[in-house]
Chain A
Amino acid sequence: MRATMSVDFLSAILRLGKKYDIGYLCEEGLKLLRLEFPTTLEIWHACSGGDTRINPGVGTTSVVMTVIGLSHELSIPRCLPVAYFRFVTSNTLVSSSLRRLLLVINNIGALGIYLGKFG
């Protein structure tokens, strides 16, 4: 059985690790993202097929959607291709799922302004 990390925990260590400059926390989170949302086909083949290493935790938002939000928020664009791929393959593209996704991304926009990224 694989040990997993909850997506809340992942978000927390990436977000606060970056904000408070705690290097090993960020690294731990990024490591997991690299495995779960790889940038090459080789890693994809090596790592996919098993169960996901990120569990949804207590949140109601799906893991993939949370990761898309996180990647936008913390500027980790490398995860986005696979994350979006997973999103479109795991969701039927009805307007409700797209609306939820847009909501996540729009929230990040607001958060970005709050964090002073754009202003």
Chain B
Amino acid sequence: MRVTESRLEVVFRPVFQNLNHLKFHRRRGETEIFIISSPSLYLVFIVLKSLELEFRAILVSQRQSPEGISRSTSQSAVQQMFSLFRRLFRIQKSKPSTISQALLAKRRETEEPEDKGKSPPVQSTSYWFDDGGVIIQAENTQYRVHQSLLSRHSTIFNDMFSLPQPAMDPGPTSEGCPVIFLSDKATDLEHVLSVIYDGIRRGISLRLYFLNLIPQQLGFMTCEQR
């Protein structure tokens, strides 16, 4: 489920009666930033888009809004936001504010009913390794795989795993492993895992085709712009 402005509003409106400003800022790449500000409160959400998981984000709050930031959406504001975020996060780790706790409690309340409607996730029969350190879930299937192997193949996963998890909310876990929810189809993911674990030749054998082609043609195609 994606985080959207309207959804944030739905979640936060009951918590903050006088929420008068909801700002949405999007940065290129995998990160989305949401800012909620009111005279007494300032919140920054940094949401990893690649995780596609609602509120699997770092939540920061402060009672006093820093001047100027929430009124501007310029590039420098984004940088300011990041430095602010770093500063706030340190404060957050040592002393979680009551607002954040209230938010987290609220979040659990709002998410629970959705979870109840779902059937429990099933473990994949093909890609469930007992020594795997991370569980990825697509649709309703969980795959316990090796973090380092995914990192090796995909820079996106590498970036995802190298980000520190907030100490106060390490996210969902299962059997001691962090669970990462992906928005992909389970069949798609299984195909990709088959390549990662069993090699691409299991899915195809392209070598046969290339033998049928004369070298110039191959050369031509390699030079072709992607």
By a beta-carbon cutoff of 8 Å, the part of chain A in contact with chain B is 2-6, 8-9, 11-13, 15-17, 19-22, 24-25, 28, 30-32, 34-35, 39-40, 42-43, 46-47, 50, 53, 114, 116
Contact = CB atoms under 8 A, between A and B. Distances in A.
Interface in B184-225: 184-185, 187-192, 195, 200, 203-206, 208-209, 212-214, 217, 220-221, 224
Interface of B is mostly: helix
Contacts of A50: 212
Interface of A is mostly: helix
B195 A43 contact: no
B155 interface: yes
A1 B35 CA distance: 59
Contacts of B209: 2, 35, 53
Contact of B200 (A28, A40, A42): A28
Interface residues of B, number: 32
A31 B206 contact: yes
Contacts of B2: 114
B108 interface: no
Contacts of B155: 20-21
Nearest to A35: B209
A8 B153 CA distance: 21
B226 interface: yes
B178 to A, nearest CB: 17
